[in-house]
Structure 1
């Protein structure tokens, strides 16, 4: 059974990476990922399903490296104010979006 769970995680990662290639906008991917992460997290799934979806799919879909690369490009321009604003803006928007997904999930069930 343990091998089967790892195969499901790998398949979830593959699907997420495939979708990530077609959505070339880091901010949009981050918002979509946060919304669905909150939605799925509120469902209180079993431990194995939660690992497959949250750790497998969403970790590959939202890719932290895209967020870091975006901030690196701003920082490379030497614009510290813009860097600080975008850094805080992205984190705050994603937290609110995740909470909104959580809230929607609770209202549906």
Structure 2
């Protein structure tokens, strides 16, 4: 890996981190029940990943910028696991089960939606 690739990854990861923090601090969605901001970030990250996969980039600099840099810092897998742990610790097993499947199923749907939209457009 050359120095340019490292700078590209750092730029993408910085933008991904800033975007994640902004969403986690300022965005609140309630559709009959609260959706945790970490889940929103995971849904958006899955959607963007689907778009990225559908474009099938072969340029390593684009992959470093968006996939490794931006999405690597934007997605919040460790926060998702921590939330599951807190729910387990509080013995809220139904909420733990619901949150797990909510994130996994909806994230996969968002990934496929992003992929499918690009397939339709191109």
Task: Tell me, yes or no, whether TM beats 0.5.
Answer: yes
Aligned equivalent of 1:56: 69
- 2:92 aligned to which of 79, 89, 92: 79
What TM-score comes out, normalization by structure 2 length? 0.82
CA contact (8 A) 2:8 2:64 kept: no
Alpha-carbon separation, structure 2, partners of 1:18 and 1:107: 31
Unaligned runs of 5+ in 2: 25-36
State the shift of 1:51 in Å: 3.0
State the shift of 1:71 in Å: 1.2
What TM-score comes out, normalization by structure 1 length? 0.91
Alpha-carbon separation, structure 2, partners of 1:69 and 1:80: 14
State the shift of 1:23 in Å: 0.8
Residue correspondences, number:
109
Q: Is 1:36–2:48 an aligned residue pair?
A: yes
Unaligned runs of 5+ in 1: none
State the shift of 1:95 in Å: 0.6
Alpha-carbon separation, structure 1, partners of 2:85 and 2:59: 35
State the shift of 1:29 in Å: 0.8
Alpha-carbon separation, structure 2, partners of 1:88 and 1:29: 16
Aligned equivalent of 2:57: 45
Alpha-carbon separation, structure 2, partners of 1:81 and 1:20: 27
RMSD of equivalent CA atoms: 1.5
Alpha-carbon separation, structure 2, partners of 1:21 and 1:82: 24
